[in-house]
Structure 1
Amino acid sequence: MKKIIIGLAITLSLIIIGTIVLYQRSTITYTRAQADTVAFVRERTNLDQVSDFHWFNGTETYLTVTGTNEEGQERIYIVQQDGGQITSFSAENTISEQEAVRMTREARDPVKILNARIGMIDDTPVWEISYRNENDRLGYYIVNLQTGEWLRTIDNI
């Protein structure tokens, strides 16, 4: 009986360690991109405190850092992955994540909101809200970050 308990403990320990290693390996790219983007933005702007990070993949990849600058103003910094061009906005001149999600709920009536991320489409800053519809299919609702104007919907993926 003692051997069985030791065997189960070892097996359980290996499963837990394997799960931890798998999780770390699966998130290392995201974690590294976040750290590199924050450092890049801090070097080139007056970003002080970071509040959020978004990774957006459209026709191009954009990495977004939101936070406050040294003057305490809420800012959004959108970094183009290829080339490193930074586009910056005052958060007070944009719609909030909550507002973008509310607009998505009203327009699409999703079963579940998966996430919201900031990016750029054709030089227009956007909120991309991903969701699951009633058929458990993936959808995206995209609105202009500055005006809240609906730009496009991609549904039933």
Structure 2
Amino acid sequence: MEKKWILVIVGLVFLAGWQAYYLYNEVNAKPEKKEAEAVEVAKKEENLASIKNVDHFFKNETYYVVEGENEDGRDMIVWVGEDKKVYSEIAKKGLSEGQMIDYVKANHDAKEIIDIRLGMEDEIPLWEVVYLDDQDRYTYYYGYFETGKRYEIYRLKESEQK
């Protein structure tokens, strides 16, 4: 009788482990699949010959940002929406990541840069910079891709409830 219960428990542990593995793979496969689809759309629509970077942007809409070089050797940035709508720019028309970080540090009280990524809202290419300001607030700064000037800014302060 004890062997039967041991086998049942081992079987249940095995089944639970298999289900957890399957769920983990399913959850992680979807973003990779969508990124791969965005790369294919960018290659087709903007004649990208090589890909340098792929990132995602989630706000009101989801975009995949594909950075690469087109067949003419120009560095391009391609924003691909979930609906496969494509917007592209020559990379030199906008600020680089380093230039955007310098802009935010010079014009806003950025104590520590947490994250920076390209994004888009209302068909406007933007930089999203997340940083801690001089009051230790998480700040989400959205600046225009071309100039860095403010499009939107959100500040989050930790709750003072105890």
The alignment's TM-score, normalised by the length of structure 1, stands at 0.74
Structure 1 stretches of 4+ moved >3 Å: 21-30, 133-137
For residue 156 of structure 2, give the secondary structure of its aligned residue in structure 1: coil
Aligned length: 138
The alignment's TM-score, normalised by the length of structure 2, stands at 0.72
Calculate percent identity across the aligned residue pairs: 27
Residue aligning to 1:124: 124
For the 8 Å contact 1:141–1:154, the answer to whether it is kept is: yes
- 1:51 aligned to 2:52? yes
CA gap of 1:84–1:140, structure 2 versus 1, over 3 A, is same
State the distance in 1 between where 2:122 and 2:81 align. 12
| Structure 1 alignment gaps of length 5 or more | 1-20
Larger Rg: 2
CA gap of 1:114–1:72, structure 2 versus 1, over 3 A, is same
Give the CA RMSD over aligned residues: 2.6
| Structure 2 alignment gaps of length 5 or more | 1-20, 158-162
CA gap of 1:34–1:152, structure 2 versus 1, over 3 A, is same
State the distance in 1 between where 2:68 and 2:24 align. 27
CA gap of 1:149–1:134, structure 2 versus 1, over 3 A, is closer
Compute the displacement of 1:84 (Å). Answer: 0.9
For the 8 Å contact 1:133–1:156, the answer to whether it is kept is: no
